[in-house]
Amino acid sequence: MPQLGNLALAIALILAVYSIVANVYGARRGAPDFVVSARHAIWAMCAMVTIAVVVLWISLLRSDFSLEYVAAYSSTTLPTVYKFTSLWGGQQGSLLFWTWLLSIFTSIAAFQNRRRNPEIAPYALAVLAGVAIFFLMMLNFVTRPFDLLATVPAEGSDLNPLLQNYWMAIHPPSLYTGYVSATVPFAFGAAALITGKLDDGWIRSTRRWAIFSWFFLTLGNMFGARWAYEVLGWGGYWAWDPVENAAFMPWLVMTAYLHSVMIQERKDMLKVWNLSLIGLAFGLTLFGTFITRSGVISSVHSFTQSGLGPYFLSFLITVTLAYTALLIFRSKQLRSPAEFESYLSREAAFLFNNLMLVGIAFAV
């Protein structure tokens, strides 16, 4: 079983690389067969990651302590529901769960755009596959979920007692869903910058994705606050813990984005601002993962220490620099002749609202 999991992750990485090449080549050369092939590769990648997730879940449910991850985060006495949630209870499993959600959302985006947005969809899917490649490289080479132990223990170390709570089945999946789904509107924004198709088409194509992401970020923060109130004994719902803050900041920026895109659709204004906001929202999801998994800041959420921090920080810097370069390159095309009618206008009120939300995020 572990060998099947490793093989599935290796194949998923190869398929993700192929999908980028086929998407970009097909889009640039006007070869639809390559674009179709790339779409099939994305669906196959999702299938491979799903196989890996199922393998790890089966290993957890069977208490297969030959796997290092199972021995570290499960035990024979652990209730079945917590064996199930142990998938995201540790570093390797949570990274696999993240990658699984990303592959699902990428597959859905590929299906939705199989007959529309022919100019930007291939590039958006290439960006999504590029993000998947980073996570798949971590799973294949850095933090492998299917590593075996030299000596099989008779009993596992068990799941952290703080995580043996029914909120464990609700809060992390909700927050991860909000985090990961923000990648889709970011990818389409990046594709719009790459192709120069800078009208509001990419916004209309991803409006539901942005609302979906905001909704689950909201649920994730609310559920986490309630869990903290019940378990940690802080005497309140919020303690300004670094990981809590890291989950709150993308919500603030995504809220600002959902308000300001309406101005672009109605008045053809705030193009740079909207692209910057969606890039910032995605960057903050990576930053939140960096804060959670790097161990650079002490947090009640830091159940594991790892060496993932430098990799995430490098990826975050690379994405930020590349996206900023695209914004600068397209800056002339993003200028709009439309101006605010008055500082008391509806558009100005939306902008002030945005500035307040982003200012709060900066303060946090």
Asked if residue 225 and residue 144 are part of one domain, the reply reads no
User: Does 128 score more than 60 pLDDT?
Assistant: yes
Asked if residue 58 and residue 202 are part of one domain, the reply reads no
Q: What does the DSSP 8-state code read for residue 147? A: P
* Residue ending a domain, choose from 104, 130, 162: 162
Neighbours of 276 (CB within 10 A): 19
| Residue 237's pLDDT band (cuts 50, 70, 90) | confident
Asked if residue 173 and residue 154 are part of one domain, the reply reads no
293 contacts: CB under 8 Å, gap ≥ 6: 91, 304, 306, 308, 309, 312
Q: Give the rounded percent of residues in the chain with a pLDDT score beyond 70.
A: 93
User: Does 233 score more than 70 pLDDT?
Assistant: no
Asked if residue 316 and residue 231 are part of one domain, the reply reads yes
154 contacts: CB under 8 Å, gap ≥ 6: 65
Predicted TM-score (pTM) of this structure = 0.94
Asked if residue 55 and residue 3 are part of one domain, the reply reads yes
Segment 58-85 shows an average pLDDT of 94
The amino acid present at 64, given as its one-letter code, is D
Segment 70-80 shows an average pLDDT of 93
Kindly report which listed range (73-82, 85-94, 239-248, 292-301) carries the lowest average pLDDT score: 292-301
Residue 35 domain boundaries: 1-162
User: Does 145 score more than 80 pLDDT?
Assistant: yes
Counting the structural domains of the chain, the total is 2
* Residue ending a domain, choose from 147, 162, 177: 162
Segment 73-87 shows an average pLDDT of 93
Q: The domain spanning residue 91 has which CATH number? A: 1.20.120
The pLDDT score that the predictor gives to residue 184 is 97
The amino acid present at 189, given as its one-letter code, is G
d(CA 68, CA 78): 16
Asked if residue 140 and residue 170 are part of one domain, the reply reads no
| Residue 299's pLDDT band (cuts 50, 70, 90) | low
* Residue ending a domain, choose from 138, 162, 186: 162
Residue 200 and residue 265 in contact, taking contact as beta carbons nearer than 8 Å: yes
Asked if residue 335 and residue 213 are part of one domain, the reply reads yes
Residue whose tokens read 């194949």? 11
| Residue 40's pLDDT band (cuts 50, 70, 90) | very high
Residue 135 and residue 100 in contact, taking contact as beta carbons nearer than 8 Å: no
Q: Among candidates 353, 221, 337, 361, which has minimal Cα distance to 281?
A: 361
The pLDDT score that the predictor gives to residue 298 is 64
Asked if residue 157 and residue 205 are part of one domain, the reply reads no
The pLDDT score that the predictor gives to residue 55 is 97
Asked if residue 133 and residue 4 are part of one domain, the reply reads yes
pLDDT in tens, 310-320: 888 899 999 99
Asked if residue 112 and residue 188 are part of one domain, the reply reads no
Q: Among candidates 79, 36, 38, 44, which has minimal Cα distance to 60?
A: 79
| Residue 248's pLDDT band (cuts 50, 70, 90) | very high
pLDDT in tens, 15-38: 999 999 999 999 999 999 999 999
Q: Among candidates 109, 120, 168, 138, which has minimal Cα distance to 49?
A: 138
Kindly report which listed range (19-23, 143-147, 285-289) carries the lowest average pLDDT score: 285-289
Q: What is the CA radius of gyration of the chain?
A: 21
Asked if residue 220 and residue 132 are part of one domain, the reply reads no
The pLDDT score that the predictor gives to residue 339 is 65
Asked if residue 173 and residue 44 are part of one domain, the reply reads no
